[in-house]
Every structure is written in C-alpha cells, then in structure tokens.
Amino acid sequence: MPHSSSPSASPSSCAMIDLFGRRVTYLRLSVTDRCDLRCVYCMAEDMTFLPRDQVLSIEELDLLASAFVAAGVTKLRITGGEPLVRKGIMDLFAGLSRHLQAGTLRELTLTTNGTLLARHADELARAGVKRVNVSLDTLDAARFRAITRRGSLGVVMDGIRAALEAGLKVKLNAVALAGITPDEVFDLIDFAHGHGMDLTFIETMPLGDVGVDRIDQYYPLDALRRLIETRLTLKDTTERTGGPARYARVAETGGRLGFITPMSHSFCENCNRVRVSATGMLHTCLGQEDAFDLKAPLRAGGDGAALRATIATAIRAKPRGHDFVIARDGTPALARHMSALGG
C-alpha cells in the first residue's frame, strides 16, 4: 500500500489544543459501521448499514490517520462497528505500524468484540499492537447470546485466549446492564484478574434507537461500586491509559478496575480525544451532533493543507462537554448509533 502521499504537518501547523486548553492526543478511528453482532445497547436487531462506496478506503483511512499523527496524535485506536470484519483491515495495521517504528505514534490498538480475534491476534502483535480492548458483558453463554442477539461466548473466549498467547495485553470492557451486571460482577472480576486482565465497567449511553427501553438497561456505576465494596476492597489510583476511565485497585486480587461514567459523572474536563467515522466525519464529542467533513479535503489531494485546516477548525470548536441524558420515555439523546463511532 503506498504511503508517499501522506499529508505532512508539524504539530504547530495544526494546533491540537482546543479553546479550553485541552490537548488532543488520542484519535479513535472507525473503519466500518458493520458488526457481526447486534448487542442490545449498541444496535437495533435490523440495522441498515452504510453503502460500501460511502466508506473510506483502507488507503484513505491510512492517510487520514497519518495526518492526525503528524498533527500531534500519539494514541490511535481502531474501532467500528467491529473493526476486524473490515476487508483489508490488517493492511491498515501493517501500514500504520510505520508510525510506531518512527516513534511518532506511541500506541496503536483496537476495540473488538473478540469474534475474529483468534484469527488475527498473531498478526496484530506483529504489527506492533501491544494491547486490545475486548467487549465482554457476561460469562453466561445464554445471556451472551441474548445480549448480542446472535453471538457465541465460546468464540470470544477463544479470541481472548489467542490474544493472551500472542503476548497482547487484554482489557475487558463490560457495559453495566440492570438485571445482569449486578448478578455477575464478582465472576467478571475473578475471571479478568485471574488471567491478568484489567476490567472496565461502562455506563450505557443513550445513542441510537436500539429497540429497547434505555431506562430498563441503565445501571449506574455508583451503585455497582457500592455492590463491589460489600466483598472487595477498592483503592482509587491516579493511573490513566489515555481514555476516560477512572481506576481502582482491588486489594484482594491485585487487579485493576476501571469505571467510565458518561451518565452519572462527566469526564469532559480533561477530554483528550476525537473520533472519526468510517465515512470521514470528525466528531469532537461523542455526546454532541457536531461533525466536520474530512472526506472532501482528504480527496482533494494536493499538499493536505485543506485537510489540516479542517482538522484545526474542528479542534477549536470542540465543545466543553456532552449533554447525555436518558429521557423519561427512554428515547436516545442522539440518533447516531454507538456502532457508528465505536464509543
């Protein structure tokens, strides 16, 4: 895959500091809105996906990511949908690994549902990926099938095992769901920490019509933490991994728990990330409708000045924070599904 036409820029030519003094160093790049699962908090059961001709090509995704790296992004997470269903995805990882080798990118990683991880774990490790986030909301096969509407827990477990054997550090992400997570929280902690994995709990976010009532799904992490502390001792830490999670160590296991609380406790004051959809739309806040078209300046070619200017304009317009709220009737705050940007 050719890379000679990558837009070049120094950090000063595309200032990645917003009007609130926050430096943007983290890009979450969606490579597809498609997924082989239909998780109840993320998608409707019958989804209409983007026409393939509207999605950026692998080379365009590389050029776009490279422009952000040149502008000062040091952490790049590939997301979806499910990124590993994207045709040619390993070519993208192989190409982007040059930024790791050059030292301009500190971390290249991905979030995955794990269904295809066993197939790609070794190749990801060879591309310089050091860690992956795997979504796992339950250890019960029947519940897993119900939550994902079609998935196999055994396949995901095989993927996790393959990732660990390939030397990848694995972090599990579990969406806190009423009626499910409280029943399984201690089993999830035992499983994660017993295999040397971090575990992060995430409050469900009101994005897109998923065909179920958001109020019925929502379980606040304050309540979950109180439940955990009935059996385990948590000690807050100042550790950060570049994202919004706040971490605590479990004295009894030595492992780490993360808590991401977009609903109950905003983490916007130190937000360092932006997201780009598979169609090239830049969103500077997951909880706002703001969007800046990067596809047009990307395809305009030239020296990349138009692309750099659009990115700089978007960063300056990054809002102070999101406005997540679950309406009393359970309708989503935004029409955009979580799968469009990968959370």
Q: Which residues are annotated as a binding site?
A: 28, 35, 39, 41-42, 77, 81, 111, 135, 171, 205, 268, 271, 273-275, 285
Contact assessment for residue 271 and residue 22, using Cβ atoms and an 8 Å cutoff:
yes
Give the separation between CA 158 and CA 5, rounded to whole angstroms.
Answer: 39
Give the separation between CA 334 and CA 343, rounded to whole angstroms.
Answer: 13
Give the separation between CA 44 and CA 138, rounded to whole angstroms.
Answer: 19
Query: Is beta strand 131-135 parallel, antiparallel or unpaired with respect to 107-112?
Result: parallel
How many Cα atoms occupy the beta-carbon half-sphere of 122 within 13 Å?
Answer: 1
How many Cα atoms occupy the beta-carbon half-sphere of 220 within 13 Å?
Answer: 9
Residues contacting 109, CB < 8 A, separation 6+: 75, 76, 77, 78, 129, 130, 131, 132, 133
Annotated binding-site members for GTP: 28, 77, 111, 171, 273-275
Nearest to 277 by CA among 172, 176, 207: 207
Nearest to 117 by CA among 80, 149, 82: 82
Annotated binding-site members for [4Fe-4S] cluster: 35, 39, 42, 268, 271, 285
Cα 322 to Cα 33, 239, 283, distances in angstroms: 22, 24, 12
Annotated binding-site members for S-adenosyl-L-methionine: 41, 81, 135, 205
Beta-bridge partners for 329: none
